[in-house]
Amino acid sequence: MWRRERTGFSGNSSHLRRDSRRTRVVLSMAGIPGLFLFLLLLLICAVGQGRPYGAHWKPTWPTYRLPVVLPQSTLSLAKPDFEAEAKLEVSSSCGPQCHKGTPLPTYEEVKQYLSYETLYANGSRTETQVGIYVLSSGRGESSGKSRRKRQIYGYDSRFSIFGKDFLLNYPFSTSVKLSTGCTGTLVAEKHVLTAAHCIHDGKTYVKGTQKLRVGFLKPKFKDGGRRANDSSSAVPEKMKFQWIRVKRTHVPKGWIKGNANDIGMDYDYALLELKKPHKRKFMKIGVSPPSKQLPGGRIHFSGYDNDRPGNLVYRFCDVKDETYDLLYQQCDAQPGASGSGVYVRMWKRQQQKWERKIIGIFSGHQWVDVNGSPQDFNVAVRITPLKYAQICYWIKGNYLDCREG
């Protein structure tokens, strides 16, 4: 049902500031069944898509009418036991066709999945319930069987990145290492995006999460030292990690067992807030466009694969299939790369420049049954409009700063 309201909502209205100059149309979604998500997807679909290819065509970031995900209530929880073993990859037998055949969640289910737990450095924990709103502004905003797992497909196409001239420069400098063994990506001055399974196994937090640290590659010799200025040296320059403690973490309830649907990979993402700014250039998050709109149909990511200790490993590959929440691809990867930010570079029409954005989080590996034959994929969680609204709010703390995906 629709109703017209002034700016502001029932519930936690302090998050929505009154603005006498504008009136918004608010979609009240309480009680709407599975049809809700279908309607929501129509409302937040990209504006101006389907532009035909031409001689001067550029792959352009779509603009979206984004929903708003806001906290409604917060409860304190008992301290976790931090007894889970860290798993550097997750597996699922539910492939693309399985996902596509899954019934759409209801509004109440989506609210539950997007509610989240926050873990603080002192071990305290809270659970926050959220509300979901769709705003329309008068300003005309843009709108199986056990198998041996493998994640290398044929010839190993990964590239180890050596030398501070590359490692310390964008975009490779945005990749960081978690003390639990995974990879993360800098997405703001104090925030790191990673996979939820890197810190939580779906039941409780993994060992070491209470004292979680994020590692930044630095030259081993602080004064520049030996080989620092010898860019022609064939010997890779030695690097070391400098660590920053994590202040708090956010994990969506969709990942946590007992609340998640049967395909929990959809919510395998988490945000870490550091205790101090990292002072590096970061990569913004963006809503994942359909794979057919990606430049060359390809994605890119860099991570700290376990089979190449101490090395940052870059790769790119084609997207093979997709669902609303997941990207299926065969980028070569090994455990340790989980949590890497999946990104693409596209044209930003408003600023008239090329820009890279994180559109997903590398999650893990799947064996799936395709027409009766086993096939394996590596899987990335897509940043959908709802996930963008949630993660952006975690970062910014103000929905007004999260209106452009």
pLDDT in tens, 228-287: 444 444 444 577 899 999 999 999 999 987 555 455 689 999 999 999 999 899 999 999
Q: What is the DSSP letter of 289?
A: P
Of 175, 338, 340, 363, the catalytic one is 338
Residue 237's contacts (CB-CB under 8 Å, 6 or more residues apart) are: 162, 163, 164, 219, 220, 227, 228
Q: Give me the mean pLDDT over the 44-50 stretch.
A: 48
Of 10, 223, 262, 373, the catalytic one is 262
Of 15, 99, 197, 365, the catalytic one is 197
Q: Give the 3-state secondary structure of 141-155.
A: CCCCCCCCCCCCCCC
* Tokens linked to 186: 């800098």
Q: What is the DSSP letter of 4?
A: E
175 is catalytic: no
User: Cα separation of 244 and 129, whole Å?
Assistant: 29
Please, which pLDDT band fits residue 169 given cuts at 50, 70 and 90?
A: confident
More confident residue, 202 or 162: 202
CB distance 286 to 61 below 8 Å: yes
* Tokens linked to 332: 């070569």
The SS3 assignment for 99 reads: helix
Please, which pLDDT band fits residue 36 given cuts at 50, 70 and 90?
A: low
**Statement: residue 8 has pLDDT above 60:** no
- Cis amide bond preceding 67, omega within 30: no
Query: Mean pLDDT lowest for which of 110-124, 157-171, 188-202, 218-232?
Result: 218-232
Query: 341 pairs with which residues across the strands?
Result: 361
Residue 150's contacts (CB-CB under 8 Å, 6 or more residues apart) are: 365, 376
Sign of CA dihedral 4, 387, 46, 104: negative
262 is catalytic: yes
pLDDT for the residue numbered 239: 76
pLDDT digits 0-9 by tens, 108-158: 999 999 999 999 999 999 999 999 998 755 433 333 333 444 454 454 555
156 is catalytic: no
